[in-house]
Amino acid sequence: MVVPVPALTAASGQPGSAERRLRELLAANRSVVSELALPGVLRRIVEAARAIAGARYAALGVIGPDGMLEQFIHSGMDDATVERIGHLPTGRGVLGALIEQPAPIRLHAISDDPRSVGFPSGHPPMKSFLGVPVRSRGEVFGNLYLAERVDGSDFSADDEELVVALAASAGVAIENARLYEESRRRQEWLRASAEISRDLLRPGLGDQVLLRIADAMLRLTDADVVTLDFPEGHDEAAAAPEAPEDVTHLVIEVARGVETDDLLGTAYLSAPSLAGTAMRERRPAVFDGTGPAEPDLTPVIADGIWGPAVACPLVGETDVRGAVVLARRVGSHPFSPADVETAEQLALHAAVALELADGRRDEERVAMLEERHRIARDLHDHVIQRIFATELTLEAANGRASDPAVREALGRAVEDLDETIRRIRTTIFELQDIRSSLDPRAVLLDVVTSSTAGLGFEPALRLEGPVATVLDPALLHDVTAVLREGLTNVVKHSRCTHVDVHVTVTPASVTVEVIDDGPPFTLPATASPTGEATGDATGGSGAGHRHGLENLACRARARHGECTLTTDERGTVLTWTVPQTR
Amino acid sequence: MDRATDQVTEPITVFLLDDHEIVRRGLIDLLESHDGFRVVGEAGTAAEALRRIPTLAPQVALLDARLPDGSGIDVCRDVQVSSPGTRCLILTSYDDDEALFAAVMAGASGYLLKQIRGPSLTEAVEHVAAGHSLIDPALVERLLERIRRREGGADTEHGHDGRPGHARHDGRSGPWAGPDSLTDREQEILDLIAEGLTNRQIGVRLHLAEKTVKNYVSGLLAKLGFERRTQAAVYGAQHGGEPVDGHGHR
């Protein structure tokens, strides 16, 4: 870093007039306060102090929360020497004395001071010393250390006064830089927050929102990797939300940052992990990265290249849905409280995004159901009415027509329209989504629909009469058995293209017909109520087949009904009919 | 009437209530193509029907179950009081089960599905005009049984969605999907309705005002998921507004 007033450096070697030195101080102040970024400010402070004190070496030690030196910015030592020493001072000895007691120290020789702990090997000799604390916002930020006046003399009281004055403006500059940093961070946070809010409100972004939030976390918290971890199987249909205590495994579902390819999809034990802890306690869990690597904390740390980590719970409206885990490389700074707070805020956003996504899904489902309901209503209120009205007109015309051919044609048209109305009724029933296990109509529909896979098409179901009212559970059980067997039969033996299933209920009887248009086959055992086989049982249809039909015949006999397999112009017709018991 | 028969029979007088004019035209066409029927009046709304039926006193009223301003069930129950000589048939495009339920709730003599084949419409009207009922008493008993069964079985019914006893209030339930259990009083009224009592008779029996019974009937219909919601939805759709059913359902 170049100090902007080189003349000062040259001149500062010799003690000049007070006026010149004051001018140098003013120039140094200007230099220090003209920089806004904190690292730049610190560097300029070191250079300016070295210049105005006429020292060979200058350094600024930043005190960390643990009271040790967290940063050490130095000037005047070449790289090779720095390399040879190996490590930066941590704040012991004379440097530590300033930390304990923040008041200027001026020494003729460091080694003479009782607090001195000596220099590490390879360290250049340092004799004269001037140390001055730097305060910012009422707290000691760090210390300015100066050593070895270039002219060989000791640091004077004037030197001390100048450096103290510089330290005061340095404190202001540091405070400015911190405020600047904070406002920049706040600004970035606001921007990210606004972006996320916008994303949240935009439908159709789906998981993209989570990715964006993860990216914002990376940026704002200075993390190297961010993952979103959820309980295993959490998105499976109908999975009841688990209490965080009951979650056994977590799975990484979103991973952003460096070297995240292998992380995606990794499952790990929830109980000992940072994410599991955060979910159970509903607050951030922090690992400062010190101590041995704890492979159980997160699979991220298990890799060995990751150090400090934070997990924040994703708290939804009713439950904890998962956690977000942030990590930095081994040896990085731990996450500061501000970082944790930022992560927490963003986790909140992510939780909202998840809730919103759920809400949208529900909304879509409701919209779909509503649409189906509307279609059903239209069919009911308009389509059936119109078909019925047309039928009435045709029927009236039929009454007036005298030509038998016309009458027959009109009659056929009316029958077709009736069939259409019945189909529409079935469709309305399907559309209404009354999947009640107690409604016999729904049960029958399910049985018929489930044969679609075997047949390659869906059989047409026609229900006639008050089916739901008449079919009590026992009768329904028989009827579904008949339908299953009848349809299985068709699948096994018939190359058909169409199957009609009729369930007709009258106050007197219940009749099931399964009609397929496949080629007729040799009639296997069919049975009358008396138990006599009415068909030829020598057909090659096999024992299993005969067994199935015999079973149906048994069911019919038990209810004083009958079961027949016949062929007519419609195709092969399985008829199962039982009288109604009163 | 120039037909010379042994017994000169007067045509059966019929009133039609259906909000679709095209259906009324068709029914008039069909009925009047037979000599035995005369359509003496028609209406497209419940209010109009309630006004006209008592003065016309038809032998048979064919009432559409669903109307923009009410239901044929309510109309039927009112007609029993205001025009005791009129026999009612509920005309509906529902399934048989709903139609049967509607007819029983209405205290009607029967129901006719909107289809031609099957029970003949003219025969049904003649049958009812002659004072017979088309409703099989055994079926009514089964229907009541079924309602009681589903009342008691609400838990198992909804067990499949993992929330036992969790009633559905999604507003798209069909006529059988409303397991809000009936109160004793409602059950009592339902039984009396099934016996064929009019609102007035039920009122006398239970020491209730006729209007109170009427409210109970509406409540029952709504509870059993029938009519009110859908009818309100139709009303809403036809009047270009949100359905008004007091339940917030759509």
Per-residue pLDDT of chain A (582 residues; tens, 9 = 90+): 433 433 344 444 455 577 888 888 888 888 888 888 888 888 999 999 999 888 999 999 888 767 777 788 899 888 888 888 877 887 788 888 888 888 899 988 888 888 888 788 888 888 899 999 998 888 888 899 999 998 888 999 989 999 999 999 888 888 888 888 888 888 888 888 888 888 877 766 667 788 888 888 888 888 889 999 988 877 654 455 667 778 888 888 888 888 777 788 888 888 888 888 899 999 999 887 766 656 677 776 555 667 888 999 998 877 888 999 998 887 777 888 888 888 888 888 888 888 888 888 888 888 888 888 888 888 887 888 889 988 888 888 887 888 999 999 999 999 899 888 888 888 888 787 555 556 788 888 888 888 888 888 888 888 888 888 888 888 999 999 999 988 988 888 777 888 999 999 988 899 999 998 877 655 454 444 444 444 443 444 444 555 677 888 888 999 999 999 888 888 889 999 999 875
For residue A115, is it within any domain? yes
For residue A323, is it within any domain? yes
Q: Is A462 on the interface with B (CB under 8 A)?
A: no
Are both A129 and A215 inside the same structural domain? no
Q: Residue B87's closest CA among B115, B67, B107?
A: B107
| Residue listed under structure tokens 């027959």 | A408
Mean per-residue pLDDT of chain B: 76
How high is the pLDDT of residue A522? Answer: 53
3-state secondary structure of A103: coil
Packing angle of the helix pair A157-201, A38-53 (nearest 10 deg): 170
Query: What is d(CA B191, CA B205) in angstroms, rounded to the nearest whole number?
Result: 12
Q: Given A351, A379, A411, which residue is the final one in a domain?
A: A351
Within B37-95, residue ranges assigned H as helices are 46-56, 72-82
Pairing of strands A571-579, B37-43: unpaired
pLDDT at B167 over 70: no
How high is the pLDDT of residue A472? Answer: 86
Assign domain B12-129 to its CATH architecture. 3-Layer(aba) Sandwich (3.40)
Query: What is d(CA A119, CA A335) in angstroms, rounded to the nearest whole number?
Result: 32
Which residues in chain B are closer than 8 Å to A507, comparing Cβ atoms? 136, 138-139
For residue A138, is it within any domain? yes
Higher-confidence residue: B202 or A440?
B202
For B47, half-sphere exposure in the C-beta direction (CA atoms, 13 angstrom radius) is 2
State the DSSP code for A154.
P
ipTM over cut 0.90: no
Backbone angles phi, psi at A55, to 5 degrees: -95, 155
Q: Is A377 on the interface with B (CB under 8 A)?
A: yes
Picking from A377, A389, A468, the nearest residue to B23 by CB comes out as A389
For residue A395, is it within any domain? no
State the DSSP string of A229-266: EEETTTTSTTPPPPPGGG--EEEEEEEEETT-TTTTT-
Handedness of CA A551, A552, A553, A554 (dihedral sign): positive
State the DSSP code for A533.
B
Are both A299 and A252 inside the same structural domain? yes
Query: Chain A residue closest to B142 (CA)?
Result: A469
The contacts of residue A42 (CB under 8 Å, 6+ apart) are A60, A62, A71, A73, A174
Q: Is A258 exposed, middle or buried (0-12, 13-18, 19+ CB in 10 A)?
A: exposed
CA B217 and chain centroid, separation:
11
Would the CB atoms of A425 and B95 count as touching at under 8 Å?
A: yes
Residues forming CATH 3.40.50.2300 domain(s) in chain B: 12-129
Are both A214 and A170 inside the same structural domain? no
For residue A399, is it within any domain? no
pLDDT in tens, B70-89: 888 889 999 998 999 999 99
Q: Given A351, A367, A402, which residue is the final one in a domain?
A: A351
pLDDT at B228 over 50: no
Q: Chain B neighbours among A 312-371 (CB < 8 Å)?
A: 369-370
Looking at the structure of chain A, the number of domains it has is: 3
For residue A108, is it within any domain? yes
The lowest-confidence range among A553-562, B137-146, B150-159, B221-230 is B150-159
Would the CB atoms of A507 and B34 count as touching at under 8 Å?
A: no
pLDDT at B11 over 70: yes
Q: Is A432 on the interface with B (CB under 8 A)?
A: yes
Q: Given A334, A351, A368, which residue is the final one in a domain?
A: A351
How high is the pLDDT of residue A408? Answer: 92
For residue A278, is it within any domain? yes
| E-assigned strand segments in chain B | 12-17, 37-43, 60-64, 66-67, 70-71, 87-92, 110-113
CATH code for the domain in which residue A157 is found: 3.30.450.40
Contact by Cβ (8 Å): A93, A147: no
For A508, half-sphere exposure in the C-beta direction (CA atoms, 13 angstrom radius) is 0
How high is the pLDDT of residue A458? Answer: 86
Q: Chain B neighbours among A 481-520 (CB < 8 Å)?
A: 505, 507
Contact by Cβ (8 Å): B92, B63: no
Query: What is d(CA A264, CA A228) in angstroms, rounded to the nearest whole number?
Result: 10
How high is the pLDDT of residue B246? Answer: 35
Are both A261 and A125 inside the same structural domain? no
State the DSSP string of B168-190: ---S---TT---PPPPHHHHHHH
State the DSSP string of A486-514: HHHHHHHH---S-EEEEEEE-SSEEEEEE
| Amino acid at residue number B15 | F
Residue of A388, A410, A464 for testing the chain B interface, max B β-carbons within 10 Å: A388
Are both A254 and A149 inside the same structural domain? no
Are both A283 and A325 inside the same structural domain? yes
Q: Residue B129's closest CA among B28, B61, B195, B80?
A: B61
pLDDT at B236 over 50: no
pLDDT at B248 over 60: no
Q: Residue B143's closest CA among B188, B193, B203, B100?
A: B100
β-bridge partners, A563: A527, A576
Are both A175 and A225 inside the same structural domain? no
CATH code for the domain in which residue A504 is found: 3.30.565.10
Highest mean pLDDT of the ranges A84-93, A197-206, B100-109, B143-152: B100-109
Which residues in chain B are closer than 8 Å to A422, comparing Cβ atoms? 115
How high is the pLDDT of residue B83? Answer: 92
For residue A493, is it within any domain? yes
Would the CB atoms of B139 and A399 count as touching at under 8 Å?
A: no
The CATH number fitting domain B137-238, selected from 3.30.9.90, 3.40.30.10, 1.10.10.10, 3.40.50.360:
1.10.10.10
3-state secondary structure of A99: helix
Higher-confidence residue: A371 or B41?
B41
Q: Is A386 on the interface with B (CB under 8 A)?
A: yes
Are both A167 and A211 inside the same structural domain? no
Domain region containing A234: 202-351
Residues forming CATH 1.10.10.10 domain(s) in chain B: 137-238
Picking from A377, A392, A472, the nearest residue to B234 by CB comes out as A377
Query: What is d(CA A377, CA A371) in angstroms, rounded to the nearest whole number?
Result: 10
β-bridge partners, A324: A228, A312
